[in-house]
A and B are shown apart, each in its own frame.
Chain A
């Protein structure tokens, strides 16, 4: 496909050609070479530091996962207040204390009367709840038993 040359193209070309005539291409080549040398030097440590950064990132992520697992597997101490209002309703509260150390994860359970519960908890109407904890190794009764002792409060 042929290009249709306009007089404006000729003018632009003339301008470029005139300026191009004054360019020292050896100088330009040397300048580009210098810039490439610097870029090359920058790139090598950058690649190394990128690798180091990647390793650090993976290590940090692994550490974070480990910490999260550790924290989530540790029982938190706390208390639970349970309303005990309408025995015909479904179970709504279950507290699990699964830990080898029975002193950890102790919960204070307070049974409150219906009126107080209505005022305090409005629509929460559990009729029973379960507290279970890990069976201590010292009282391990064998494989035929569940690993947890369960206490049901009614």
Chain B
């Protein structure tokens, strides 16, 4: 699988330009290059693979439908990650409701089968706790901490994706960390 980080910016620009002219193959290449990155963002915001995959699919469709409006093909990544993060953020509450109802249904099934509740694996426990904690953050805080968490995304780009200053991103990250430290203190010890 190819990844955007290993491809020249000029190549991405060329693909984005071709996509904006309606070239579907070029857009498919961009999907292949950015799907991992997009998944990383959506997953960090939603904390659930299925929900994140849904957000990524919806995000790519939105991007495809509006790529002709992309004025600067060289800034495709920023533009795409903005779409993906916004899609994931808007899906946050619905995703949580679905997860909760699935959990209730799961519990009922287990009660019926008179199984003793299986001990949750650490990772699953953490996943659930993170998902819950992320929902307690404001939209901007969730976005900021997610984008900040992307290893090779400079702060300046994170600020551009969020449409605010680097200082504002840092402030949101600071606030998010403070909240998450309280909410996830069990996992930090």
Q: Which residues of A contact B (CB under 8 A)?
A: 1, 3, 6-9, 11-16, 18-20, 22-23, 25-26, 28-29, 31-33, 35-36, 39-40, 43
Contact of B56 among A8, A32, A33, A39 (CB under 8 A): A32
Q: Whole-angstrom distance between the alpha carbons of A36 and B123 in the complex?
A: 33
Write out the residue numbers on chain B whose beta carbons fall within 8 Å of the beta carbon of A23: 39, 49, 53
**A28 and B35 within 8 A (CB):** yes
Asked if B187 is at the interface of the complex by the 8 Å CB criterion, the answer is yes
**A15 and B24 within 8 A (CB):** no
The total of interchain contacts (Cβ-Cβ below 8 angstroms) comes to 95
**A20 and B40 within 8 A (CB):** yes
- Whether A22 touches B27, Cβ cut-off 8 Å, given contacts A12-B130, A31-B57, A32-B57, is no
**A18 and B123 within 8 A (CB):** yes
By Cβ-Cβ distance, the 9 closest A-B pairs, closest first, are A39-B61, A15-B130, A32-B60, A35-B57, A8-B180, A16-B44, A35-B61, A8-B177, A16-B43
Q: Whole-angstrom distance between the alpha carbons of A114 and B85 in the complex?
A: 80
9-residue interface stretch from B5-13, B71-79, B94-102, B148-156: B148-156
Asked if B127 is at the interface of the complex by the 8 Å CB criterion, the answer is yes
Q: Nearest chain A CB to B10's CB is how many angstroms away? A: 24
Interface residues in B162-182 by Cβ distance below 8 A to A read 166, 177, 180-181
Write out the residue numbers on chain A whose beta carbons fall within 8 Å of the beta carbon of B148: 3, 9
- Whether A33 touches B28, Cβ cut-off 8 Å, given contacts A8-B188, A11-B188, is yes
- Whether A40 touches B24, Cβ cut-off 8 Å, given contacts A16-B43, A31-B57, is yes
Write out the residue numbers on chain B whose beta carbons fall within 8 Å of the beta carbon of A8: 177, 180-181, 184, 188
Q: With A3-B155, A8-B181, A31-B53 given, can you name 12 additional A-B contacts, CB distance below 8 Å?
A: A8-B184, A8-B188, A11-B126, A12-B149, A12-B180, A15-B130, A28-B53, A28-B56, A29-B35, A32-B57, A36-B61, A36-B64
Write out the residue numbers on chain B whose beta carbons fall within 8 Å of the beta carbon of A36: 24, 27-28, 31, 60-61, 64
* 21 A-B contact pairs sorted by A residue (CB < 8 Å): A1-B155, A8-B181, A11-B130, A13-B151, A15-B123, A15-B126, A15-B130, A16-B44, A16-B149, A19-B49, A19-B52, A20-B39, A28-B35, A28-B39, A28-B53, A29-B32, A32-B60, A33-B28, A35-B61, A36-B28, A39-B61
